[in-house]
Amino acid sequence: MKPRLERETIALRVAKEFFDGAVVNLGGGIPTLASNFVPEDKTVTFHSENGMLGFGPVEYDESQQSVYRMNASGQLVQARPGMCFVDHATSFALIRGGHVDISVLGAFQVAENGDLANWMIPERAIGVIGGAMDLSFSCNKLIVAMEHTTPKGGIKIFKKCSYPLTAPKAVDLIITDLAVIEITKQGLLLKEIAPGWTVEEVQAVTEPKLIIAKDLTEITL
Q: Given 8, 40, 49, 207, which residue is catalytic?
A: 49
Phi and psi angles of residue 106, each rounded to the nearest 5 degrees, phi first: -85, 175
Contacts of 124 (CB under 8 A, 6+ apart): none
Written as tens digits, the pLDDT of the chain (221 aa) is: 789 999 999 999 999 999 999 999 999 999 999 999 998 899 999 999 999 999 999 999 999 999 999 999 999 999 999 999 999 999 999 999 999 999 999 999 999 999 999 998 777 767 778 889 999 999 999 999 999 999 999 999 999 999 999 999 999 999 999 999 999 999 999 999 999 999 999 999 999 999 999 999 999 88
- To the question of pTM greater than 0.75 for the whole model, the response is yes
Contacts of 37 (CB under 8 A, 6+ apart): 11, 12, 14, 15
Bridge partner list, 105 = 144
Helices assigned H by DSSP within the chain? 7-15, 30-33, 88-96, 132-138, 199-204
CATH of domain 7-218: 3.40.1080.10
CA distances from 167 to 26, 62, 105, 164, 171 (A): 17, 38, 12, 9, 9
Domain boundaries, the chain: 7-218
Phi-psi sector, 31: left (phi>0), alpha (psi -120 to 50), beta? alpha
Please indicate whether residue 49 is annotated as part of the active site: yes
Integer Rg of the chain from CA: 17
